[in-house]
Amino acid sequence: MKRFPWDILLALLAGLGLGLVYSWVISPARVTDAEPLALRADFKDHYRSAIAAAYAATDNLTRAQARLSLLADSDPIEALNAQAQRMLASGQSPEQADQVAALASALDQGMTLEFTSTPITQIINTIVITSTSLPNPSDLPLEVTETAQPLETPATVSVSTPRPTQTPIPTLGAPFTLTGQETVCDPNLPDGLLQVIVFDSRRRQLAGAKIMITWDGGEEEFFTGLKPELGNGYADFIMDPNTAYTVQLGAGSDIASGLSTSSCQPSGGETFFGGIKLTFQQS
């Protein structure tokens, strides 16, 4: 009868243990030069913030798009808007949140200001120099169409770039139109829940939209995007019974007035206060 090779098994286990100790403790693997898409979620947020700060200083949208593409986000605009709202909700710098939201707005509109340097020879060649009173005997006008002689000036004329300024979250751009208003009687929702859903001009939910609600003797502001699990363009407010409210999104937008709770009574159930759902879309 052959004896079980315990010595070989123990040697293998000892080797495996020493290998794990060396690879995990003594000399763990270090990841270097990894792609941005491999970053952890919070490090991706830092990466987007750095891109937004660079864009605020340079207005170079093409470079910002190239850098954001390295994250491989399915929707970079939504990712930026959601991050801006997380930054505001967590009490981070409003200026940095504004930069992130401004980059999202620029990507959405596809517009940027570009400042270039124009060679002075190009400027000179575009000018037609004419003279109507040259001191020559024929007293005829002289039209100079040849390229002027080079001037002893620097090769380029630099156009100064304005200093970047803080850009607000894009909530007060184009006005918003009230596209839907309905009474909601759902016993699973809080009593008197006012739900507001805001879309941009492309029918995508818009985060960071400021909503102004007023009533007799009071007013308040709240923002979309603070409950991303319900949608980037979602916001809500609890209404008091027997109080009429007015809701508006910025100057020039439609106004929803006379909003109040309603009495709902499902069949065989107790009476409760219903809510209202409003839908706005950017023009």
Tokens encoding 120: 């002075």
Question: The tokens 């918003």 sit on which residue?
Answer: 176
Amino acid at 27: S
Q: What is the spatial distance between Cα 123 and Cα 257, in angstroms, rounded to a whole number?
A: 58
CA distances from 189 to 91, 194, 233 (A): 28, 10, 19
- Tell me which long-range contacts 45-48 makes (C-beta under 8 A, separation of at least 24): 45/83, 45/86, 45/87, 47/71, 48/79, 48/80, 48/83, 48/100, 48/103
Backbone Cα Rg of the chain: 32
Query: Crossing angle, helix 61-69 and helix 94-109, to 10 degrees?
Result: 100
Q: How far is C-alpha 123 from the chain's CA centre?
A: 38
Q: Is the pTM of this model over 0.75?
A: no
Question: Has residue 127 got a pLDDT over 80?
Answer: no
Tokens encoding 62: 């093409």
pLDDT digits (tens, 9 = 90+) for 185-243: 988 899 999 999 999 988 899 988 999 999 999 999 999 988 888 888 999 999 999 89
Q: Could you tell me if 99 and 84 are in contact, meaning their C-beta atoms sit under 8 angstroms apart? A: no
Q: What is the DSSP letter of 150?
A: P
Q: What is the DSSP letter of 205?
A: B
Side-chain-side CA neighbours of 268 within 13 Å: the count stands at 0
Give 280 or 168, the one with higher predicted confidence.
Answer: 280
Give 8 or 281, the one with higher predicted confidence.
Answer: 281
Assign 283 to helix, strand or coil.
coil
Between the two ends of the chain, the Cα-to-Cα distance in Å is 89
pLDDT digits (tens, 9 = 90+) for 68-111: 988 888 898 989 989 888 888 888 888 888 888 889 888 888 74
The confidence score (pLDDT) of residue 252 equals 86
pLDDT digits (tens, 9 = 90+) for 140-180: 444 444 444 444 444 444 444 445 444 444 444 579 999 99
Ordered domains of the chain (ranges, CATH): 36-109 (no CATH), 118-157 (no CATH), 176-282 (2.60.40.10)
Give DSSP secondary structure letters for 85-132.
HHHHHTT--HHHHHHHHHHHHHHHHT-------EEHHHHHHT--EEES
How many other CB atoms sit within 10 Å of the CB of residue 276? 22
Cβ neighbors of 168 (< 8 A, separation 6 or more) are 98, 101, 102
Question: The tokens 């009593």 sit on which residue?
Answer: 191
Side-chain-side CA neighbours of 90 within 13 Å: the count stands at 12
By CB atoms closer than 10 A (0-12, 13-18, 19+), residue 74 is exposed
Q: What is the dihedral of CA 223, 278, 204, 173, to 10 degrees?
A: -60
Q: What average pLDDT is seen over the chain?
A: 78
